[in-house]
Structure 1
């Protein structure tokens, strides 16, 4: 399919309305609707449920959405790599990320990118997961790394990896024998909070938010390395994505178990960028290489 058709489809899926999509795309609503109908005719299936309140993706549409996002992102990566071959190797990368990304993902990505683009400079900010999309939306940074739940207007996820939140404990801990861990089980053990705020709001899981608010932690610390050391020392359990502790899991120094709450097991870590603002060519190239590294870590985590 043509790139413009994919953009029309993605915008309708994002906004849930042909009219809203046309306003954001600055294209006539009739043209957008015609392209959606053409795609459905070409594929031989409807992609949306037409509801009184708008349009909602059906399973076929969700599958096409993944393809469309991957295709457009791959095209942008190819364009930036061609630009790099023409000598466009300087620029500044501004990003914000949750602290877990500073353990493996970002150090490896920046080191690799610096070898290829030695003139690139960086501003990299560590912040709470829920604050990352807001920084991207406000234009304070060009991209972000965080758990992806409900994104603010003007922000889109271009790469996602299944790296959900789980319970972290030392080997030999009573919860280490559980296949999945319930929140009531966590409440029976000393708990170390990795920040003053939960990683998401009550709209995703009121149960987890309530647990976070009523618990009395033995320690609260926003340094991932220190929290891991406290857990290894037997001071308590905590919650992290495997993204934060791949080395410790490989060495058998920590144990990670999924939550018994399905909504938490579906959490994804993603790269978020502005939906409408074009990124500098160097930053787009960085996003592409960061996405590859994120996918690699997702595979490694699944094997642990």
Structure 2
């Protein structure tokens, strides 16, 4: 049986749902469901009890789950041993990213990569958006994830995604009735600031930079999880891209509204890599996998 089929089966077993498994795998639910049925047809036995609230492994499924986990583990060990002979599956990946990417994209990418490249080590740094490109150019990071503005000459952006910043708020907030939100409207409510420095440069939007500098925030905190909790608790609104709040927006626990400013609505995020040096093979592989995940998150965010 193909490794990807076993991976689909293991994820469905863990989630108890084809839909939830498809979201974690970044694969269409129909494709996951098709592979599960194909697996059952090949084995001649059902693997799940179909319950009103989801799927539950039956005895045959539990036996296969044990086999699948052991098989995938041995498969990864074998791949590591073979590729180590070629020197292509070891190395060190250095990543610099703004804090929003630590909520979904980076954890998922690293977890997946650890399964495929268990010998690789990492240095992953959370930093301010405008510092990411500088770290990549200086060699402090191999790859960066950030908002894209005017980049320095030593770096280039790849796999750009339209994920602009907007206002995040709890359901029922007065700003939820607006299709777009002005900076002036934001000043009427407690604001939770993610940094004392603007998330984008004054050159990109002088109006936003002035708003950021002049406000008197209810709190300033560089931890996205803490700010998320404060927003959900009704302590204030904040300014973020959807990328940090995908799950909360899906569940309706938070709402997001775009700004009226064109400069902010056109803002993009992307993966930044150096132009003056060639990245090692394993780092290029990691970048490619992050690029695919960023494209998938962009598509999901567009529906929310």
Deviations 1:198-228 (A, max 9, x none): 1111100000001011110000000000001
Q: Quote the offset at 1:195 in angstroms.
A: 1.1
Alignment of 1:31-50 (within 5 A): none
Q: Relative to structure 1, is the Cα distance of residues 175 and 118 closer, same or farther in structure 2, using a 3 angstrom cutoff? A: same
Query: Hey, what does 1:111 align to over in structure 2?
Result: 111
Query: Hey, what does 2:219 align to over in structure 1?
Result: 219
Alignment of 1:204-215 (within 5 A): 204-215=204-215
Give the secondary-structure state (helix, strand or coil) at the position aligned to 1:234.
coil
Query: Hey, what does 2:285 align to over in structure 1?
Result: 285
Output the CA distance in 2 between the equivalents of 1:108 and 1:277: 27
Q: Quote the offset at 1:87 in angstroms.
A: 5.9
Query: Do structure 1's residue 199 and structure 2's residue 199 form an aligned pair?
Result: yes
Deviations 1:239-293 (A, max 9, x none): 0000000011011110000000011011111000101210011001100010000
Give the secondary-structure state (helix, strand or coil) at the position aligned to 2:200.
coil
TM-score, normalising length: structure 2: 0.71
Q: CA RMSD in A?
A: 1.3
Q: Quote the offset at 1:86 in angstroms.
A: 5.3
Output the CA distance in 1 between the equivalents of 2:201 and 2:295: 26
Output the CA distance in 2 between the equivalents of 1:104 and 1:92: 21
Give the secondary-structure state (helix, strand or coil) at the position aligned to 1:201.
coil
Q: Relative to structure 1, is the Cα distance of residues 84 and 250 closer, same or farther in structure 2, using a 3 angstrom cutoff? A: farther
Contact 2:196 2:213 in 1 (8 A): no
Output the CA distance in 1 between the equivalents of 2:122 and 2:174: 43
Give the secondary-structure state (helix, strand or coil) at the position aligned to 1:198.
coil
Output the CA distance in 2 between the equivalents of 1:199 and 1:151: 15
Query: Hey, what does 2:260 align to over in structure 1?
Result: 260
Q: Quote the offset at 1:233 in angstroms.
A: 0.8
Query: Hey, what does 2:131 align to over in structure 1?
Result: 131
Output the CA distance in 1 between the equivalents of 2:297 and 2:127: 21
Query: Hey, what does 1:234 align to over in structure 2?
Result: 234
Output the CA distance in 1 between the equivalents of 2:233 and 2:294: 29
Contact 2:98 2:146 in 1 (8 A): yes
Contact 2:95 2:123 in 1 (8 A): yes
Q: Quote the offset at 1:85 in angstroms.
A: 10
Deviations 1:167-225 (A, max 9, x none): 00000000001000000010111100011111111100000001011110000000000
Output the CA distance in 2 between the equivalents of 1:85 and 1:259: 53
Give the secondary-structure state (helix, strand or coil) at the position aligned to 2:166.
strand
Structure 2: 5+ residue stretches without partners:
1-82
TM-score, normalising length: structure 1: 0.71
- Number of corresponding residues: 222
Alignment of 1:16-95 (within 5 A): 88-95=88-95
Query: Hey, what does 1:298 align to over in structure 2?
Result: 298
